[in-house]
Structure 1
Amino acid sequence: MVRNPERRRQLLDAAVDVIAGHGSRGLTFGAVDREAGAPAGTASNYFASRDQLVDELAAHVFGRLAPDPVETAKRMSRPRTRDTERELMRWLVERAMSDRAAHVALFELRLEAARNPRLAPAVTRHFAGNLESATSDHVDGGFPGDEATVLVLYLAMTGLLLEHLTMPGLLGEEQVQRIVDHVVTAIVPESTPPHASA
């Protein structure tokens, strides 16, 4: 059977909404079909198993959340300073708020991996690739700090997004922006110290 790539994307977008709205336990082929407005049995024709659906869903979410390359190039053309890093983290929060379902899906995928040892390696691989890309962008891009800087910044921003997206009444928008500023100032140095000569 020839499968339509656009239909596959629609099913994966529907899966994002299902897992964000109902949790990983609500992610069934039937729920995806209903969310996508597709005939019963469509999702099972595209994905051989629920595990395959979850694996492809993880890749799809990261692809969906990837920033616009033109806007990224524009922002990355600025000097590689802590202030630029701060603006990039503010932009990350803006993008998270504009596609809340996809970010909530990431939180649910973490929980799915924790509960399902069969899926943990595949889901972890997608997250590891994302972290590796962020590390490369920061270090190879010439921003202040090193791999440890990126890891701590990644963990801090993940925690902030978890709080803000799952408990929107806890932190206001202005407070979130202030927290981003504090996080970047505390973690990212003003400049990377030159290596001591041997």
Structure 2
Amino acid sequence: MARNDARRASLADAGIRVLAEAGARGLTHRAVDIAAGTPKGTASNYFPRRDDLIAALVTRIGERLAPDPAAVAAESSSLQDRALFAAYLRDVVRRLRADPHVSLALFELRIESARSPAVAMALGKWRQESFEADVDFNENAGLPGGRAEIALFHYAIDGLMLDHLTAPLDTGLGLDEVVDEFVNRLLPRSAE
């Protein structure tokens, strides 16, 4: 079969919707075909095993969550300080909020990874590579904070998004305010 990247991406996007709406247990090749509006068997032609489908969804989630290179370049011309670091984090939260299906699908995969070694392997590899890329980006950009602080921000943003997407606490704080408070509390002033 000839490689059709647009069809592959469309199927992965449909799989993300299925994960977000039906959970990991509802993720089947047939459910992806129905969500994509493709003939029965199309998803299994592109992703013969469920593990192949999961790997494609992880890759597609990464593509959809990637920052806009132009926005990163524009921001990088600013002073490398806590305010710029906070701006980058607000952008991460904005991207996670922009498409709740992607964020919910990611949480579904994280829960499924506790039950499935194959999912844990695919998702764990992507998460670790993403974390290392964040640490490298932060270091190369001359931003404050190091590996430990980046890990703390990952944990904090994960919790913030899980709260926002499910049964959120009514704290009176906007998401940008929360991110700014994370930065103020997790980055020591001496990190500037």
Given the two structures, how large is their TM-score scaled by the length of structure 2? 0.93
1:49 equivalent in structure 2: 49
SS at match of 1:130: helix
The equivalent residue for 1:196 is none
Q: Secondary structure of the equivalent of 2:133?
A: helix
Root-mean-square deviation over aligned CA pairs: 1.6
Per-residue CA deviations over 1:35-70 (Å, capped at 9, x if unaligned) read 000011100000110111001211110111101111
* Residues paired across the two proteins, number: 192
| Alpha carbons 2:54, 2:122 under 8 Å: kept | no
The answer to whether the aligner puts 1:37 opposite 2:37 as a matched pair is yes
Superposed displacement of residue 112, structure 1: 1.6
Q: Structure 1's 137 and 160: CA in aligned 2 closer, same or farther, altered over 3 A?
A: same
How far is the alpha carbon of 1:87 from its aligned partner? 1.5
Q: Which residue pairs with 1:181 in the alignment?
A: 180
Task: Tell me the distance in 2 between the aligned counterparts of 1:126 and 1:27.
Answer: 20
- Residue 174 of structure 1: CA displacement? 4.5
Contact (CA 8 Å) 1:164, 1:171: kept in 2 or not?
no
Partner in structure 2 of residue 160 of structure 1: 160
Aligned to 1:19: 19
Does structure 2 retain, via aligned residues, the 8 Å contact 1:12–1:60? yes
Distance 1:172 1:34, change over 3 A: farther
2:81 maps to 81
Alignment partners' CA distance in 1, 2:16 and 2:49: 17
SS for the counterpart of 1:32 is helix
Per-residue deviation at 1:85? 1.1
Which residues of structure 2 form unaligned runs of 5+?
A: none
Deviations 1:70-115 (A, max 9, x none): 1111112211111111122222222222111111111111112111
Cα deviation for residue 175 of structure 1 reads 2.9
In the alignment, is residue 102 of structure 1 matched against residue 102 of structure 2?
yes
Contact 1:29/1:43, CA 8 A, preserved across alignment:
yes
Aligned residue type for 1:33: D
2: distance between equivalents of 1:171 and 1:180? 16
Taking the aligned partners of 1:122 and 1:95, their CA distance within structure 2 comes to 22
Give the C-alpha shift of residue 13 in structure 1. 0.5
Residue 112 (structure 1) aligned with residue 102 (structure 2): no
Q: Which has the higher mean CA deviation after the structures are superposed, 92-101 or 3-12?
A: 92-101
Q: Percent identity?
A: 39
Quote the Cα distance in structure 2 between the aligned partners of 1:76 and 1:99: 25
Distance in structure 2 (CA, Å) of the matches to 1:92 and 1:126: 16
The one-letter code matched in structure 2 to 1:104 is L
Deviation, 1:170, is 3.0
Name the amino acid aligned to 1:187: L
- Name the CA distance, whole Å, in 1 between partners of 2:166 and 2:61: 17
> Match of 2:67, SS?
coil
User: How much does 1:121 deviate?
Assistant: 1.6
Equivalent residue for 2:3?
3
TM-score (norm 1): 0.91
